[in-house]
Amino acid sequence: MRDNFRGVVGAASLLALAAGTAHAQNRASFSEVPQGAWFSFAPVSPAMDCASIERLALDEVTFLKATAVDTGDAPAFCRVEGIIRPEIKFEIALPNTWNRRLYMFGNGGYAGRDLSSPQRVANRDAAVKNGFMSVQQNTGHDERTDPLGTFADGNLEKLVDYSHRAVHVTVNTAKALAEVYYSDRPSYSYWDGCSTGGRQGLMSAQRYPTDFDGIVAGAPVLEFNNTQLWNVYNAQQLLKGPLSYDQLPVLAKAVMGKCDAADGLEDGLITDPRQCNFDPATDLPRCEGAAGETCFTDDQIAAVQGLHDGVIVDGEQVYPGVQWGVEGIDTNGNSGWKAWMVTEEGQSRQLAYGETYVQNIALLPKRGTDIDWRSFDIPANFGDVQMARDLLDANQPHLSEFERQGGRMISYFGWSDPALNPMMGVNYYEDVRETMGAERTSAFYRLFMAPGMFHCRAGYGPDSFDAMVPLIKWVETGEAPEQIVARQIKDGETLRSRPLCPYPQVARYSGEGDETDASSFKCALPE
């Protein structure tokens, strides 16, 4: 069996890892806009020509370029590119007919992605097609020169921009520009992000509660620092008992066989992995001797159990373990653990994120680029990352100011997310409910858990859903989403659909009808 990890990753490998994970988005926003939707009407036209924008003086903006765009998939718009000091690159798309609404979308991973990358252009165009002005930024660094967390090494200013400032100053710049270009400010402003973008959304609600009227915060890495320590911890566990790709389907089959029916329906989905009582020591086939493709050695079983146990400090779990179901197999035959946790060559994605964190961010203001992740003592260093926690975590449960401003927020998480621990989202929502009260919380903030969904999208469960349209409806009409229908689509065909329910409700089969159709399910509290 090949070594799962290598000690040194070159610059080219770092860049490849960053590019592969720097854009996390559900990609279904505006996919279910009803015909004739009120927010698609765009009655406002520019009060000045596009080129004149370059002569404007905007706070902290050091560069402006404006280009009229009348090609491609989107209606005609003015593309404004700029830089906010020190190095925050932004793009604002101002449609020729505007619906008085602002749409800003977030970043993934350690960010720094080219604002003209295909998926970011697709996100922008989807918004412009519906009359929104679209806003994006790179958090203040470029992944091509500063991949992963290397931008933060010795540069606290860039880390602050990445943490929260870049989003705040960019949306303020966009609002000011709209007021000049259209002689009108946005009537509503919306945020849409997943992963880092989800964290950015929560940061906005917590630190800048007036920036957005509505926020979609998908799979937010709200405990950023503990997540990165968890990434290193997982790699350390697998170092003790490395797994092969061939073993992952065996693990997935064993977990599903033990836990599929826990929700009352054998449908290839685990509605809530907390109901799963899988035990690697008794439920996995054990090898008699050397490791094999269809069995597990004692060391491998211990590694799997260690992953599920979570990060332990002084005998107490300080961060939850990998949830059962994450190892599941998607419609392309890939396990959620593959690449994210288990690799047969090079670093896993989790390790890439965790290693760059402990070397460039964890021990602020000290620098630790010579740290070896293999020997990094997580319990000993757990309390030393408080400065980074104060800066980067978005886990404050006091959202009363966002609520008072009339803000509304939808959050979602895949129960089978291999990049981030879904319990992080559940625990935070429970903290908000405990702080503000359950009924009060659900009146402005709702969490939707998606069984079988990987990170932001994909997986072996329904993963395609539009959270933005329900959010807009909630903000502008007061109608809260009682469910969001998600679909599992392959090659353009819907394999099944399922309602996502406001936590703590779950989708329960009615007892009759097609088990692959959302209409056969209702949202209810778990039995």
Confidence of residue 97 (pLDDT cuts 50, 70, 90): very high
Q: Are residues 34 and 178 in the same domain?
A: yes
Decide if 337 is inside a domain.
Answer: yes
Write out the DSSP string of 442-504. Answer: HTTEEEEEETTB-SSS-BSS--B---HHHHHHHHHH----S-EEEEEEETTEEEEEEEE-BTT
Amino acid sitting at position 32: E
DSSP 387-438: HHHHHH-------HHHHHTT-EEEEEEETT-SSS-HHHHHHHHHHHHHHH-H
Q: Kindly state whether residue 506 falls inside one of the protein's structural domains.
A: no
Residue 478 region, left (φ>0) first, then alpha (ψ -120 to 50), else beta? Answer: left
Please check whether residue 430 lies inside any domain of the structure. yes
**Amino acid 72: pLDDT:** 79
The pLDDT score that the predictor gives to residue 269 is 98
CB distance 462 to 484 below 8 Å: no
- Pair (357, 377) in one structural domain: yes
Q: Where are the alpha helices (DSSP H) in 8-140?
A: 11-21, 118-129
- Ramachandran quadrant class, 241 (left: phi over 0; alpha: psi -120 to 50; beta: rest): beta
Number of domains in the chain: 3
User: Cβ distance 101 to 70 under 8 Å?
Assistant: no
Q: Which domain holds residue 63?
A: 24-186
126 and 258 housed in the same domain: no
Question: Do 85 and 157 belong to one domain?
Answer: yes
DSSP state letter for 41: -
**Reported confidence tier of residue 21, pLDDT bands at 50, 70, 90:** low
CA separation (Å) from 272 to 206, 489, 506, 516?
28, 22, 9, 18
Nearest residue to 455 via CA among 499, 414, 497: 414
* 231 and 368, same domain (yes or no): yes
Percent of the chain topping pLDDT 70: 95
From 9-18, 62-71, 121-130, 142-151, the region with the lowest mean pLDDT: 9-18
Tell me, yes or no, whether 216 and 244 share the same domain: no
pLDDT digits (tens, 9 = 90+) for 282-300: 999 999 988 899 999 999 9
Instruction: In whole angstroms, give the CA distance from residue 283 to residue 256.
Output: 11
In a domain, 457, yes or no: yes
- Say if residue 205 is in the same domain as residue 230: no
pLDDT digits (tens, 9 = 90+) for 148-196: 999 998 789 999 999 999 999 999 999 999 999 999 999 999 999 999 9
For the four alpha carbons of 192, 197, 202 and 203, in that order, the dihedral sign comes to negative
Q: Is the pLDDT of residue 394 over 60?
A: yes
Buried-exposed string 437-476: b where 16+ CB fall within 10 A, e elsewhere: eeeebbebbbbbbbbbbbbbbbbbbbbbbbbbbbbbbbbb
The larger pLDDT score, comparing residue 39 to residue 306, is at 306
Do 233 and 316 share a structural domain? yes
User: Is the pLDDT confidence value at 88 over 90?
Assistant: yes
pLDDT of residue 17: 53
pTM: 0.95
457 and 361 in a common domain? no
Where does a domain end: 369, 391, 413?
391
What is the bridge-based pairing of β-strands 101-105 and 88-95?
unpaired
User: What is the arithmetic mean of pLDDT over 248-265?
Assistant: 98
pLDDT (mean) for 206-233: 99
